[in-house]
Amino acid sequence: MSALADRLAETDARIADAIRDAGRDPSEITRIVVTKFHPVEMVRELVGLGVRDVGENRHQEAQAKAAELADVALRWHFVGQLQSKKARQVRRYAVAVHSLDRGSLVDALAEADAGGPVLDGFLQLNLTDDLGRGGVGPDDVEALAERILAAPGLRLRGVMAVAPLDEEPRRAFARVRAASERLRHLEPSATAISAGMSEDFREAVLEGATHLRIGTAITGKRPQSR
């Protein structure tokens, strides 16, 4: 087995352990491999290992990889901060945007709806006090959710969050679960929780995450900036 295959298998085993310990059903959980900074050849190797959900956080890189892999039935998840002016292009390849963090972006994605497939959207929560981080605070969840629900061509799947570095992840994810419950009062079908990365996916699964965004634990260290 290649090192990549090893890491994928080991990570999936750890995910399975967490699911079992949480008493949850494996079919509730989607494991997205975040391949940012890694070459398209790695994505192809992952496809050979059965991976179908991949995540990217920069539009240009995602667009180029999706074009090169147009022959493969992959689901591209956009997980990074997104400029509204890129909305139209992102809709051409992404099945989901996990980083809906403001009304103007929601509107731009809706306007870019060209009658293609519905785009899945996750409302990004900011779990820190730093307004510069992506996402909305607890008080703004309902307003942004209403905007997404009103947007043609978008389906609100649920919430997304990144655990702060200075907080115990389980505590942070408990707040995400609470926000998810509030959102479900507004829209009962918006049950998804995109949370959990390489260092904290176990805690995320224990707090109800449905979409794990895992990079380095599977891909290995990212090549430095380029």
Ligand X SMILES: *Cc1c(COP(=O)(O)O)cnc(C)c1O
Nearer to ligand X, 145 or 200 (CB): 200
Q: Please list the alpha-helical segments (H only) found in 59-187.
A: 59-68, 87-93, 103-111, 141-150, 169-186
Nearer to ligand X, 112 or 197 (CB): 197
Q: Are the CB atoms for 141 and 124 separated by under 8 Å?
A: no
| Least spacing, CB of residue 194 vs ligand X, in Å | 8
b (16+ CB within 10 A) / e for 173-199: bebbbebbeebeeebeebbbbbbbbee
CB of residue 134 vs ligand X: minimum separation in angstroms?
8
For ligand X, the closer CB: 142 or 198: 198
**What radius of gyration, in Å, describes the C-alpha atoms of the chain?**
17
Residues contributing to the site for ligand X (CB under 6 A): 34, 36, 57, 79-80, 162, 197-198, 213-217
Residue nearest to ligand X (CB): 215
Q: Could you tell me the CA-to-CA distances from 201 to 26, 161, 171, 218 in Å, in that order? A: 14, 12, 13, 12
Determine the straight-line distance between the first and last CA of the chain, rounded to whole angstroms: 29
Smallest distance from ligand X to CB 80, Å = 5
CA angle 169, 133, 178 (to 5 degrees): 45
Least distance in angstroms from the C-beta of 106 to ligand X? 18
Nearer to ligand X, 57 or 180 (CB): 57
Question: CA-CA distances (angstroms) from residue 73 to 5, 39, 41, 50, 70?
Answer: 20, 18, 15, 11, 8
Nearer to ligand X, 36 or 111 (CB): 36
H or E element at residue 192: strand 192-194
Q: Measured from the CB of residue 217, what is the shortest distance to ligand X in angstroms? A: 6
Q: Which is nearer to ligand X, 84 or 216 (CB)?
A: 216
β-pairing verdict for 30-34 and 211-214: parallel
Q: Closest separation between CB of residue 223 and ligand X, Å?
A: 13
